[in-house]
Chains A and B, each alone.
Chain A
Amino acid sequence: MKKAEIGDWVQIHQIVLKPEERGVNIPDDTKNVPLELWVKGFAQNEATIGEEIRIKTVTGRMISGTLHQVNPKYIHNFGEYVPELTKIDMQLKEILFGGEADD
């Protein structure tokens, strides 16, 4: 969905500090990029992705930013299968219980 209607649950994006506004004593790779912010809330106006939008967060704050996602989903999971971990598991059982555990 590319468009948010009023009342939709959305995630917005803001630039908090431009590279030239960033603090001192931070590494160059961090200093060369802006400090960015993302927060979620209910859309207060219609907008398409990348357009300015005003939201009301769950604590009731009214803030503006550019629309990043509508109904943003959680993307973390258990990742790819890691066979090395299975190797560890089998090794541990073999050391402690000998062959019996796998019979």
Chain B
Amino acid sequence: MIKDKSYNAVMSRNNQIMKKAIGIDYDLFESGGIAFDYEKMMREAGYSLDEIQEIQGSTGVGNTPILELRNLTALARKYAPKGKGARIFIKDEAANPSGSFKARRAANAVYHAKRMGYKGVIAATSGNYGAAVASQAAMLGLKCIVIQECYDSKMVGQPEILEKQRVCEAYGAEVVQLSVGPELFYTFLLLLEETGYFNASLYTPFGIAGVETLGYELVMQFREKLGKDPDKVVITHAGGGNVTGTARGIIKSGAENIQIVGASVDLSGLHMASDHDFNRKSFTTGHTGFGIPFATWPDRTDVPRNAARPLRYLDRYVLVKQGEVFYITEALSVLEGLERGPAGNTSLTAAFALAQEMDEDQIIVVQETEYTGAGKHPMPQISFAKQNGIEILFGNPDEEVPGKNIIFPESPGKIKVRDYDLEKARKSYINNAVKNNGKDEISSHDFKFLINDTKGEEEFVLSTLDELKVTVKQ
């Protein structure tokens, strides 16, 4: 039988294609409304922490070192009030086989695919996850296709994404490159249907549970090394999996007082699906273009229910500017002797500012680093920005306008975090949940779910629903 391959026909087969490509019956966790049983999904569709440690350990993933950044701490203290300036640490996730924490996510997904008898895996990603899936597929002997949004309509590619293409091919994967646009999903569905491969989505319970080991391991390392838990963990936030997985692992370690801080690069004003804006971003991930939409509506991905639900775990969400992150990337290199890639440096920039609010004996941890090199380094990124007409200045980073300029702080003292109001994010989430549900009355079960899914106070959720003219059925 020849299937209709037109856009509308393929999109209408989405559920059927995904069920076959993921092998999870998501209906088992649904209750017919807004709510679904998140913990049941994580428990029954995922793996236990012990199992994951074993799976990851078998391919050399995890157990990455914790490094103290003494010079960066000393620099932060120069700008902090007396007695302030927490010790800054990083978890060197670049030590994973594919050079980033994404190896943890991929190890689980690819292991599962192999166990279920799939011949290959497909991942839709322009980021490090592609390299991670390709690397794991190579180790486990599965075929691998990575689909990436790579070029604008003039076939000009963001240098960082071009590097991701190279590295995926280096690990033996087929890389399908597309021009800008969300219809990448159509090509993704066509490929899943054609090949029968596993959808190694970033957002399945396997992928997210894979990151739990990071949070768990981190706490154990601090207990061993310093005899205490860190005070804050800063996590670069994009699609929500890094925040969700790390925080779940921290909870599983029994640590109760660690503040979970998400950090993104502020790219406000740039449209993520715009052909024109595509190459005016100097960050391909860890930015607000993913961070905010994925927090305020997680179920927008390539799976029916997203296992990454960052609002459940975030205590604080802060934004930093592009120029600040490049500045801190240089500082990590020249003051600490660690040349690392862009993603973790977003949370490191936030940590540099946040440390100055904390006492000297406190500990702040940045939970990832990633590999760097051609395409990913600040040099190609800044020179690409210049080619695209972006002005490079020194001054006040608060005046940076994404797509127009990049402002390096004139002094490290100018680096700061800007708090993103989590109440606003929670409101937006509730609004999306209600709107997508299409009802003006929700069940008390749904009400409880909204409280849990937003980490919101009961009263706050109720008053938000009230503003939306939605009542809760008793």
Contact = CB atoms under 8 A, between A and B. Distances in A.
A100 interface: no
B182 A26 contact: yes
Instruction: Report the 8 A-B pairs with minimum CB-CB distance, sorted nearest first.
Output: A79-B383, A79-B380, A76-B162, A76-B375, A33-B153, A80-B383, A36-B179, A30-B275
A87 B379 CA distance: 13
A91 B150 CA distance: 35
B19 interface: no
A37 B374 contact: no
B159 A79 contact: yes
Given A37-B177, A40-B174, A82-B378, 18 more contacts: A16-B183, A23-B182, A27-B271, A33-B153, A35-B181, A37-B178, A58-B173, A58-B174, A75-B162, A76-B157, A76-B159, A77-B159, A82-B379, A84-B392, A87-B394, A88-B408, A92-B331, A96-B78
A6 interface: no
Contacts of A95: 75, 78, 411-412
B455 to A, nearest CB: 29
Interface residues of A, number: 43
Contacts of B106: none
Most buried by B among A76, A85, A87: A76
Contacts of A36: 151, 153, 155, 178-179
A38 B148 CA distance: 10
B331 A78 contact: no
A98 to B, nearest CB: 12
A85 B330 contact: yes
A38 to B, nearest CB: 5
Interface in A21-77: 21-23, 25-27, 29-30, 33-41, 57-61, 74-77
A22 B183 contact: yes
Contacts of B379: 78-82, 85
B275 A35 contact: no
A38 B177 contact: yes
A96 B151 contact: no
Contacts of B177: 37-39
B334 A26 contact: no
B334 A61 contact: no
Q: Could you say which interface size class chain B belongs to?
A: 35 or more
B276 interface: yes
B330 A89 contact: yes
Nearest to A33: B153
Contacts of A96: 71, 74-75, 78, 335
Interface string B429-444: 0000000000000000
A74 B166 contact: yes
B325 to A, nearest CB: 12
B294 to A, nearest CB: 17
B156 to A, nearest CB: 10
A93 interface: yes
B176 A74 contact: no
B292 interface: no
Contact of B334 (A21, A25, A79, A92): A92
A22 B181 contact: yes
Given A30-B274, A37-B187, A84 B382 contact: yes
Interface in B51-79: 71, 74-75, 78
A81 B378 CA distance: 10
9 contacts: A29-B275, A35-B179, A39-B174, A61-B195, A76-B159, A79-B380, A80-B383, A80-B386, A89-B333
Contacts of A26: 181-183, 273
A82 B326 CA distance: 12
B283 interface: no
Interface in B342-392: 374-375, 377-384, 386, 392
A78 to B, nearest CB: 5
Contacts of A78: 374, 377, 379-380
Interface string B256-279: 000000000000000101111000
Given A59-B174, A77-B374, A88 B330 contact: yes
A35 B422 CA distance: 36
B163 to A, nearest CB: 6
Most buried by A among B144, B178, B194: B178
B162 A79 contact: no
B180 interface: yes
Interface string B149-176: 0110101010100110110010011111
